[in-house]
């Protein structure tokens, strides 16, 4: 009972036709690689995911981790998956060769992670978090810290977490109350409680390296007083061997609707004197450092949400192709054979909606990753800066859009299956339960709305949005050459102008009336997302049109390209037009929620 | 840990201010009742639900029914709930006094059912189905059948089910394959398998009366060859005592994402010769009879979906009022106190959206029930016919709209709670899982779209839509008198014209190109729903404006009415405008899904 994981034809299209990943081979860092190496990496990820991740996706959901009085117990397949991934080198793959890494580009590794996500989103959370934690230590830790923790994290002996949230502050990091008291040996004693810490305890690695936000005694209030600490579950001796158990205790496991094989924990730090913590970088700059991990995680969350949507789409598509039921409305002959449900227009609508969401979301996440890659390895400083500006601007969308529409895709997949979609005997309801997490963690939708409208579009005098405008304009000019794309050009062009107009209107009032200007930021986030994804669909359609223009293409490629163009039509003709009413309410500074009173509810 | 069930102030408003239920007392059937009797009935339902239904809502979810090798086992609270409801007379409440009923109006009983739904949607499915099954026997059964089954069904000794769906036909009832072979004694032998039969087995009643659709040997193909049978789990002797076990076997339990305490079964009929079945009414007219139960069930499903949404709204509203987190964007002082999250504009947006969906949905279901009541007990035949025409037209919306937006409300409730919303330690994720069923059963959204556009709007030369236009026009004229409603009038009036225009456009092409005209029927269903609910919100705002114009009203009433007007503004200014793009795509007969090919996916 093998599960279809993603669609390798589509991944190929996105990586090599849409995003031109092969040109990375010209950059010094990748010159020893080849497209074959990239593909072999993806094949390995695909195979490992099929064998070690997909095998226990349902089992991990039905047998969630539990605390047996002594330790967290998990189904053994979880550790086998972790080990297989570590042994194949994926925990170290993005490091340089001289750091025992594979020196592979980020976009290939994201695509590999997409395969792990597709097999089992909950189990893949452990390596996902560990890679992010190790990257953070790599970027900001001292040489000693790197030497102490990174080898074991790359080998898979240690896992990592990010411990930000506390029971009483949720998203408001400024108000965390975990404290850090300096000790004579230069370390700190951490005291406080963290909540919703994914992977905060487990039985798959010999140690867990928590990256903890806390406030040093006497630190400034608010975000400017937050520091970042390494706080291992088990202390590590200077020779790398394990020492004493640190004063970090599992206060409880939380029981989620989905993502069940990822432990969600409440952790108590310092209940018996103080949990030993080691400051990363400078005091009070912890949030800045953590943002590196958060920004990485935000693309990762978007990707996971896209992939869960993708898996539901795959399943419901296969189901619709094989399930006979009913006849076309025009056919009144009950003696005629039933048709497969994919022949019903509304089922095709549901499949097209899913296709446009999940392939659009995957394209968005890989595009963001290519910007990330460019921001680090593009040839010139100017190119690197430009890539960073666009990436920084769109990161809130890269996290939020796939989370919202990946979930919606899963909701639709259930609907395609009907009753079968609602029962646990079929896999789609689990994808839906799993995906409901993604609009919440790594910043809720509301927080990303305020981030993009209240901060990101304003940075560097709006340079990111200007660059985005130029990028879209280039695609529009190229699209003019292809008559089959003619219906797509005006809506995308108008959509971009709408985005610009709305942005100008809202920021013109920002200083004077901040709260009202930001009141509908979640709507702005969705509007921007629709424009951005419409452009990505135009770009996919453009790439497909070029593919169709090739001579002697294979019939399967022709179908694939036609499907891309039709999905672009669907998205641009069915989903983009909702920005009309959205722009209206944003530009009139609609104050209905803003003026609603507590006592009126 | 008592759960807030609905909002009695709102129910009061809907019943007595919006729908003027008190005038029913003037009708002969209800002249011996009083508003006090109505309220006492609701209070009893509220109390029973609180004590016997809400008490095991979470427990039933965590301990779903299972088959122990001999029988289905369920948590004992289920039977206690059933018994309490039966003892209070709710299984018989809508029958006339001379049939041992309470002769209460349907709208009061629907409101009572809303309380049971609010306490525990899964457990309340058993009485909900049983009442429908008994009503069907009451309407179409022979005197003997009524005498044999109805007393026990009203007393709660027997439960009822509707057994329509089969593994291989799903929604396509025309293609059912369960057969009925005539026997010398006038009964039939049923043979076949039914699937997704809610309450198809349980351990709370001594017998279960299945109402089964089957085809008599030699019957015409298609829907015109379907007959309806009574098929008891245990045969009933003429004296009413229980006889032998009938040849109906539980082939399996299905394991749902939610609604877990409602058994969902696969039933095998006639594996050992034939299950004894008794024809209801005439042969081959079974689907017509079943439509009575289905139409009743459709309002009931809409109501259940509305109520699940309502419960999530209640919980998230209380949470938002008590949970401190963050500050307004304009407040840059980290030393200032945190505010409760209800003060964040986006949280208020999420609460207003929920309020507009769930109060709108409840108003819609009660309005439909008042039409049902009028279709049976209004003073003149003309009034009864008119009520029926509108009810018949809007039934697809009454089922679908609350199912879609009640679920959306639950999705938003989770978002208001953030991480807490995603864990089973809080109740909102269960409401969301429960509610995902409602867009599927009793006709999927797609089926209701085709029903309303392909059939309902065309009946009687569009008389239903004409009447609806007149009803809305009356509200618009009345709204003109209230300046605080001025922003609502034009959008609702324009919305109605949009609905009319779209309808005319689509039906003008229906005969010529049926399949294309119906291809986007699901969008039409949503558009119609938005216009209908906008009118109901206008009508609620109008009622609230009248309330505000009263002298010396209590502050809590003033707040309540202001909240209604603000929610109407929200719905009409934020949700109604989406009909613009919807109308565009419908009127251009957009064919993107229609022309999408299987091989392009």
Q: What is the pLDDT of residues A368-422, one digit of tens each?
A: 999 999 999 999 999 999 999 999 999 999 999 999 999 999 999 999 999 999 9
State the maximum Cα–Cα separation within chain B, in Å, rounded to a whole number.
88
- Beta-strand ranges (E) seen in B111-247 are 158-163, 179-182, 188-198, 207-216, 227-232, 234-236, 242-245
Does any CB of chain B come closer than 8 Å to the CB of residue A170?
yes
Quote the CA–CA distance of B38 and B536 in Å, as a whole number: 23
Average pLDDT (B454-480) is 97
Q: What single string gives the DSSP state of each residue in B87-102?
A: HTTTTTTTS-GGGT--
Q: Name the architecture of domain A8-141+150-155.
A: Orthogonal Bundle (1.10)
Task: Give A236→chain B minimum CA distance, Å.
Answer: 32
Quote the CA–CA distance of B171 and A29 in Å, as a whole number: 57
Does any CB of chain B come closer than 8 Å to the CB of residue A589?
no
Task: Give the burial class of B157: count Cβ atoms within 10 A of its Cβ; 0-12 exposed, 13-18 middle, 19 or more buried.
Answer: middle
Does any CB of chain A come closer than 8 Å to the CB of residue B481?
no
Dig out the tokens for A546 from the structure: 């070029």
Helix, strand, coil share of chain A (percent; to 5): 60, 10, 25
Tell me the chain A residues in contact with residue B577 when contact means C-beta distances shorter than 8 Å. Answer: 580-581, 584-585
For residues B303 and B110, is the Cβ–Cβ distance under 8 A?
yes
Instruction: Specify the CATH superfamily of domain B8-155.
Output: Acyl-CoA dehydrogenase/oxidase, N-terminal domain (1.10.540.10)
Quote the CA–CA distance of A92 and A85 in Å, as a whole number: 10
Task: Give the burial class of B190: count Cβ atoms within 10 A of its Cβ; 0-12 exposed, 13-18 middle, 19 or more buried.
Answer: buried
Q: What is the pLDDT of residues B112-121, one digit of tens each?
A: 999 999 999 9
Q: What is the pLDDT of residues A262-280, one digit of tens each?
A: 999 999 999 999 999 999 9
**Is the model's pLDDT at A1 over the cut of 50?**
no
Token pair 């997302």 is found at A529
Tell me the chain B residues in contact with residue A518 when contact means C-beta distances shorter than 8 Å. Answer: 329, 345
- State residue A171's pLDDT score: 82
Of these residues, B106, B166, B296, B442, which one is catalytic? B442
Buried b (16+ CB within 10 A) or exposed e, A401-426: bbbbbbbbbbbbbbbbbbbbbbbbeb
**Is the model's pLDDT at B227 over the cut of 70?**
yes
- State residue A292's pLDDT score: 86
Does any CB of chain A come closer than 8 Å to the CB of residue B4?
no
Q: In the structure, what pLDDT confidence band is assigned to residue B240 with cuts at 50, 70 and 90?
A: confident
Q: Do A577 and B596 touch (CB under 8 A)?
A: no
Average pLDDT (A29-48) is 98
Out of B351, B414, B440, whose CB is closest to A436?
A: B414
Closest residue in B to A173 (Cα–Cα): B326
The number of C-alpha atoms within 13 Å of A206 and in the hemisphere containing its C-beta is 13
Quote the CA–CA distance of A245 and B581 in Å, as a whole number: 61
- Angle formed at CA A464 by CA A459 and CA A466, multiple of 5 degrees: 115
Q: What is the pLDDT of residues A319-332, one digit of tens each?
A: 999 999 999 999 99
Q: Which of B240, B269, B46 is nearest to B161 (CA)?
A: B269
Which residues 396-455 on chain A approach chain B with CB closer than 8 angstroms?
A: 407, 411, 414-415, 418-419, 421-425, 429, 432-433, 436-437, 439-441, 444-446, 449-450, 454
Out of B196, B330, B601, whose CB is closest to A563?
A: B601
Does any CB of chain B come closer than 8 Å to the CB of residue A512?
no
Q: Looking at the DSSP assignment, which residues form a beta bridge with residue B212?
A: B163, B229
Contacts of B231-239 with CB under 8 Å at 24 or more apart are: B231/B163, B231/B190, B231/B269, B231/B275, B231/B276, B231/B277, B231/B278, B232/B149, B232/B158, B232/B207, B232/B208, B232/B276, B233/B201, B233/B207, B233/B208, B233/B209, B234/B206, B234/B207, B235/B276, B236/B148, B236/B149, B236/B152, B236/B207, B238/B148
- Give the percent of chain B with pLDDT over 90: 97
Q: Do B600 and A559 touch (CB under 8 A)?
A: yes
Does any CB of chain A come closer than 8 Å to the CB of residue B215?
no
**Is the model's pLDDT at A71 over the cut of 80?**
yes
Q: Do A429 and B351 touch (CB under 8 A)?
A: no
Tell me the chain B residues in contact with residue A438 when contact means C-beta distances shorter than 8 Å. Answer: none
First and final C-alpha spacing in chain B: 50
- State residue B2's pLDDT score: 67
Radius of gyration of chain A, Cα coordinates, nearest whole angstrom: 24
How do strand B242-245 and strand A234-236 relate by DSSP bridges? Answer: unpaired
Quote the CA–CA distance of A419 and B165 in Å, as a whole number: 10
Q: Do B254 and A425 touch (CB under 8 A)?
A: yes
Closest residue in A to B555 (Cα–Cα): A599
Task: Give A318→chain B minimum CA distance, Å.
Answer: 10
Q: Do B256 and A346 touch (CB under 8 A)?
A: no
For residues B360 and B571, is the Cβ–Cβ distance under 8 A?
yes
Average pLDDT (B309-327) is 97
- CATH level 3 topology of B158-284: Butyryl-CoA Dehydrogenase, subunit A; domain 2 (2.40.110)
Does any CB of chain B come closer than 8 Å to the CB of residue A337?
no
**Is the model's pLDDT at A447 over the cut of 70?**
yes
For residues A301 and A132, is the Cβ–Cβ distance under 8 A?
no
Mean pLDDT of chain A: 97
Q: Do B346 and A254 touch (CB under 8 A)?
A: no
Dig out the tokens for A236 from the structure: 């590590």
**Is the model's pLDDT at A101 over the cut of 70?**
yes
Q: In the structure, what pLDDT confidence band is assigned to residue B438 with cuts at 50, 70 and 90?
A: very high
Contacts of A596-600 with CB under 8 Å at 24 or more apart are: A596/B348, A596/B351, A596/B352, A596/B563, A596/B566, A596/B570, A597/B559, A597/B562, A598/B321, A598/B342, A598/B343, A599/B559, A600/B559, A600/B560, A600/B562, A600/B563, A600/B566
Q: Do A592 and B574 touch (CB under 8 A)?
A: yes
- CATH 2.40.110.20 fits domain A158-285: yes
Q: Do B254 and A423 touch (CB under 8 A)?
A: yes
**Is the model's pLDDT at B1 over the cut of 80?**
no
Token pair 């097999």 is found at A119
Buried b (16+ CB within 10 A) or exposed e, B284-306: bbbbebbeebbbbbbbbbbbbbb
Q: What single string gives the DSSP state of each residue in A391-443?
A: HHHHHHHHHHHHHHHHHHHHHHHHHHHTHHHHBTTSSHHHHHHHHTTTTTSSS
- State residue A2's pLDDT score: 66
For residues A320 and A342, is the Cβ–Cβ distance under 8 A?
yes
Out of B330, B345, B450, whose CB is closest to A593?
A: B345
- A442 counts as catalytic: yes
Token pair 């539980």 is found at B250
- Angle formed at CA A51 by CA A49 and CA A54, multiple of 5 degrees: 60
Q: What single string gives the DSSP state of each residue in A16-79?
A: IIIS-GGGGGGSGGGTT--HHHHHHHHHHHHHHIIIIIGGGHHHHHHS--EE-SSSEE--THHH
Quote the CA–CA distance of A208 and A201 in Å, as a whole number: 8
The highest-level CATH class for domain B285-326+338-443 is mainly alpha
- Beta-strand ranges (E) seen in B324-470 are none
Q: Looking at the DSSP assignment, which residues form a beta bridge with residue B213?
A: B228
The stretches of B31-142 forming alpha helices (DSSP H) are 35-48, 57-62, 77-87, 106-119, 121-140
Tell me the chain A residues in contact with residue B421 when contact means C-beta distances shorter than 8 Å. Answer: 440
Q: Looking at the DSSP assignment, which residues form a beta bridge with residue A267?
A: A194, A250
Task: Give A32→chain B minimum CA distance, Å.
Answer: 37
The CATH code that applies to domain A286-443 is 1.20.140.10
Token pair 């190109």 is found at B513
Dig out the tokens for A357 from the structure: 């969401």
Query: Residue B200: which H helix or E strand, with range?
Result: none
Does any CB of chain A come closer than 8 Å to the CB of residue B355?
yes
Which residues 236-295 on chain A approach chain B with CB closer than 8 angstroms?
A: 254-258, 264
Quote the CA–CA distance of A373 and A369 in Å, as a whole number: 6
Radius of gyration of chain B, Cα coordinates, nearest whole angstrom: 24
Domain limits, chain B: 8-155, 158-284, 285-326+338-443, 444-596
Q: Is the dihedral of CA A305, A308, A312, A313 positive or negative?
A: positive
Average pLDDT (A281-290) is 96
Quote the CA–CA distance of B130 and B107 in Å, as a whole number: 18
Quote the CA–CA distance of A192 and A267 in Å, as a whole number: 8
**Is the model's pLDDT at A490 over the cut of 70?**
yes
Same fold: A158-285 with A286-443: no
**Is the model's pLDDT at B426 over the cut of 70?**
yes
Task: Give the burial class of B550: count Cβ atoms within 10 A of its Cβ; 0-12 exposed, 13-18 middle, 19 or more buried.
Answer: exposed
Q: Do A597 and B562 touch (CB under 8 A)?
A: yes
User: Between the CA of residue B452 and those of A360, B138, B180, what are the distances in Å?
Assistant: 33, 28, 32
pTM beyond 0.95, yes or no: yes
Mutate to test the interface with B, among A13, A332, A337, A349 (most CBs of B within 10 A): A349
Dig out the tokens for A209 from the structure: 């390296």
């Amino acid at each position: 009972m093998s599960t279809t994981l993603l669609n390798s034809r589509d991944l190929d299209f996105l990586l090599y036709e849409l995003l031109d990943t092969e040109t990375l081979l010209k950059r010094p860092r990748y010159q020893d690689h080849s497209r074959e190496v990239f593909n072999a990496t993806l094949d390995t990820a695909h195979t490992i995911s099929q064998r070690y991740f997909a095998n226990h996706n349902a089992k991990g959901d039905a047998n969630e981790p539990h605390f047996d009085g002594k330790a967290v117990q998990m189904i053994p397949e979880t550790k086998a998956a972790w080990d297989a991934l570590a042994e194949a080198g994926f925990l170290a793959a993005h490091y340089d060769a001289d750091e025992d890494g594979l020196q592979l580009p980020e976009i290939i590794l994201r695509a590999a992670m997409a395969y792990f996500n597709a097999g089992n989103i909950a189990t893949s959370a452990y390596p996902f978090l560990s890679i992010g934690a190790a990257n953070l230590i790599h970027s900001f830790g001292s040489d000693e810290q790197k030497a102490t923790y990174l080898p074991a994290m790359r080998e898979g002996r240690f896992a990592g977490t990010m411990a930000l949230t506390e029971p009483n502050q949720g998203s408001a990091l400024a108000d965390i109350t975990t404290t850090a008291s300096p000790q004579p040996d230069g370390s700190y004693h951490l005291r406080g409680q963290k909540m919703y810490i994914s992977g905060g305890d487990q039985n798959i690695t010999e140690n867990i390296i928590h990256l903890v936000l806390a406030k040093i005694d006497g630190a400034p209030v608010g975000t400017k007083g937050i520091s970042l600490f390494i706080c291992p579950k088990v202390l590590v001796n200077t020779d790398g061997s394990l020492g004493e158990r640190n004063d970090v205790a599992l206060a409880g496991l939380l029981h989620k609707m989905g993502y069940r094989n990822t432990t969600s924990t409440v952790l108590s730090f310092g209940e018996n004197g103080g949990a030993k913590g080691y400051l990363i970088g400078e005091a009070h700059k912890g949030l800045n450092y953590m943002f590196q991990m958060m920004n990485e995680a935000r693309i990762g969350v978007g990707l996971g949400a896209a992939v869960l949507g993708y898996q539901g789409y795959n399943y419901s598509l296969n189901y619709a192709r094989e399930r006979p039921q009913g006849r076309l409305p025009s056919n009144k002959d009950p003696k005629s054979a039933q048709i497969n449900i994919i022949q019903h227009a509304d089922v095709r609508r549901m499949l097209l909606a899913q296709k446009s969401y999940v392939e659009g979301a995957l394209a968005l996440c890989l595009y963001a990753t290519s910007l990330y890659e460019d921001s680090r390895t593009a040839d010139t400083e100017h190119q690197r800066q430009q890539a960073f500006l666009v990436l920084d601007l769109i990161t809130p969308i890269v996290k939020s859009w796939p989370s919202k529409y990946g979930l919606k895709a899963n909701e639709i997949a259930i609907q395609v299956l009907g009753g079968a979609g609602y029962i646990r005997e079929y896999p789609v309801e689990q994808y839906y339960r799993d995906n409901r997490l993604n609009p919440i963690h790594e910043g809720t939708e509301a927080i990303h709305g305020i981030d993009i409208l209240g901060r990101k579009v304003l940075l560097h005098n709006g340079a990111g949005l200007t660059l985005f405008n130029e990028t879209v304009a280039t695609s529009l000019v190229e699209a003019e050459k292809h008559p089959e794309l003619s219906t797509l050009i005006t809506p995308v062009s108008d959509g971009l102008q709408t985005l610009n107009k709305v942005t100008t209107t809202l920021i013109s009032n920002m200083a004077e009336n901040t709260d009202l200007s930001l009141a509908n930021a979640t709507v702005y986030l969705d509007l921007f997302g629709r424009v951005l994804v419409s452009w990505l669909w135009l770009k996919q359609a453009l790439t497909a049109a070029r593919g169709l223009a090739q001579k002697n293409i294979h019939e399967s490629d022709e179908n694939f390209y036609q499907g891309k163009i039709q999905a672009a039509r669907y998205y641009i003709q069915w989903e983009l037009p909702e920005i009309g009413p959205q722009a209206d309410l944003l530009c009139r500074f609609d104050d209905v929620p803003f003026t609603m009173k507590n006592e009126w509810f």
